[in-house]
Amino acid sequence: MTENKKRDNWGSRIGIIMAVAGSAIGLGNFLRFPAKAAANGGGAFMIPYFVSLLLLGIPLMWIEWTLGRYGGGFEHGTAPGIFHNLWRKNRFIKYFGIIGIFGPLVIFVYYTFIGSWTLAYSFFALTGKYTALTDQNSLRSFLSGFQGLEKNQYFNGIGTAYSFFLVTFLLNICIIYYGIKGGIEKLCKWAMPLLFIFGLVLMFKVLTLGTPDLTKPDWNVAGGFGFLWNPDFSALKSAKVWLEAAGQIFFTLSVGIGVILTYASYLKKADDVVLSGLTAASTNEIAEVILGGSIIIPAAFVFFGPVDIKSIAESGVFNLGFVTMPLILNKFVLPGLFGFFWFFLLFLAGITSSVSLAQPAVAFLEDEFNLNRKRAVVIFGVVSFILCQPAIFLLGRGVIDELDFWGGTFFLVVFATIETILFAWVFGMDKAWEEIHKGADMSVPKVYKFIIKYITPVFLFFILGMWLFQEWMPIITMKNVPLADKPYIFFTRLGLLSVFLVLVVLVKMAWRRRKLNFKEER
């Protein structure tokens, strides 16, 4: 007979709200969102963005909070167990839930490395290591040298980057080791307010920039906001813009990953999920639309003007964050201080997200194999550390992009579709509606009963269908992958398949173990 140990729990309501907001608020809020908005119709992008938020993001947010709390009542904190309890007659459904462990694990192995860059650049800002660089080429070379992609006068290999990776990785493992209340909740309670303070300082600085070059009076903050938000309504005719907006909602709210399911599983049965979930989502939207939309693009417009701003907006997340923004900050008074504010803001956003990505795998080991926290975290730490190495040493071979596509894009939409169908159609919308409102501090508008059952799944099937129609064959055949990188991408896919199959075996072992324990108890 197996002795059941007590599951961890949240210490306060504000703790779970801050943790879920911390999971959602990441690098994408401050880099990906303004770039996507600027490149896809400016203000017109916000129409499909808010449509996606109302019809996709908010319904999925309530679905995941509710399913997580429901599964926690059966001592399941991850999707395999939760899915099994939703559809007990189907002995295969638990294997679909593996995506809710696989996706976060895959994202964790590269996201931690990227997060370590922000910690390194925070240190570089304070020590003035890059603050004397005043052109794009120098800062690109600095970044490439740091990443180990080239040897130059700034870095002689990947040693510095690897040192900061080790520090960041160990910080993640230490926070996870101390659990939900003692680790993740404590981190998010101070990290989230500090992040907003740094964000507000930077936003205020940008808003008060004025016109640095008096010979170019149109190069001002108002023009920057105009570039970002003036709508190009012709962009709404493009399916790509709608797909990009829907993808940004997935990305920014952390829905479809499996993290919210796990976080919500530590709630009590009578804990509210309606208002708490909406508060966490609203906190994320404030960080993204108000702070994220008010820093990098308006500041870049002031210094680079209307001609270069479009190419800057389309230059990619890494270039925006680690080349363009440092170049802007180096023009400020006290560039080291403002550089620290920027990069430490990104670090806080990154680490509150990365610890959340680790929790599903740790919870799976705790719940399904009855391991204590220490053993579960040690196993996760060893395995994930090994898996991190290809992302670090094969960065220039497209490995991170490949991991991001499967872990952070494709399986995210697949998982969201599965959980929506299970919630609304298998569990049943009437029963689901009752479950949502247990302990609720507010009522969900009745229109969402229809939206969750019909509109959200149709929207998700549309996204999947469009992707299969437009992108499937080029991606599978590696059409756009350089010939020299194809072997690395092939072995990356083989590695991902191996990880998934190992998780399949572990789920099978866990359920076999549960059956044996059940027989012994009888």
- What is the spatial distance between Cα 247 and Cα 409, in angstroms, rounded to a whole number? 8
Cross-strand pairs, 42: 231
Decide if 172 is inside a domain. yes
Decide if 154 is inside a domain. yes
Decide if 1 is inside a domain. no
Decide if 469 is inside a domain. yes
Ramachandran sector of residue 157 (left: φ over 0; alpha: ψ -120 to 50; beta: rest): left
Q: What Rg, from alpha-carbon coordinates, does the chain have? A: 23
Decide if 7 is inside a domain. no
Nearest to 133 by CA among 299, 339, 315: 339
Place of tokens 């490149």: 39
In this prediction, residue 520 carries a pLDDT of 58
Phi, psi of 231 (to 5 degrees): -80, 135
Range of the domain at 349: 13-521
Name the token pair of 195.
Answer: 């992040």
- What is the spatial distance between Cα 455 and Cα 236, in angstroms, rounded to a whole number? 20
Domain count, the chain: 1
Decide if 3 is inside a domain. no
In this prediction, residue 1 carries a pLDDT of 41
For CA atoms 108, 110, 112, 118, the dihedral sign is negative
How many residues can be counted in the chain? 522
Decide if 4 is inside a domain. no
CATH of residue 91's domain is 1.20.1740
In this prediction, residue 43 carries a pLDDT of 83
Decide if 150 is inside a domain. yes
Name the token pair of 110.
Answer: 């590269």
Neighbouring CB atoms inside 10 A of 277's CB total 26
Give 25's DSSP letter. -
Place of tokens 């926290």: 373
Name the token pair of 312.
Answer: 């800057």
- What is the spatial distance between Cα 102 and Cα 23, in angstroms, rounded to a whole number? 17
- What is the spatial distance between Cα 440 and Cα 173, in angstroms, rounded to a whole number? 34
Question: pTM of whole model > 0.85?
Answer: yes
The answer to whether the CB of 37 falls within 8 A of the CB of 224 is no
In this prediction, residue 389 carries a pLDDT of 97
Query: pLDDT (tens digit, 0 to 9) for every residue of the chain, 522 residues total?
Result: 444 567 889 999 999 999 999 999 988 899 888 888 887 877 888 899 999 999 999 999 999 999 999 999 998 999 999 999 999 999 899 999 999 999 999 999 999 999 999 999 999 999 999 998 988 899 999 999 999 999 999 999 999 999 999 999 999 999 999 999 999 999 999 999 999 999 999 999 999 887 777 678 788 898 888 888 888 888 888 777 887 888 889 888 989 899 999 999 999 999 999 999 999 999 999 999 999 989 988 888 888 888 787 788 777 788 888 999 999 999 888 999 999 999 999 999 999 999 999 999 999 999 999 999 999 999 999 999 999 999 999 999 999 999 998 998 889 889 999 999 999 999 999 999 999 999 999 999 999 999 999 999 999 998 888 878 877 888 888 988 999 999 999 999 999 999 999 999 999 999 998 877 756 555
For CA atoms 11, 15, 17, 22, the dihedral sign is negative
Q: At what angle do helices 239-253 and 456-470 cross, to 10 degrees?
A: 120
Nearest to 67 by CA among 454, 464, 447, 416: 416
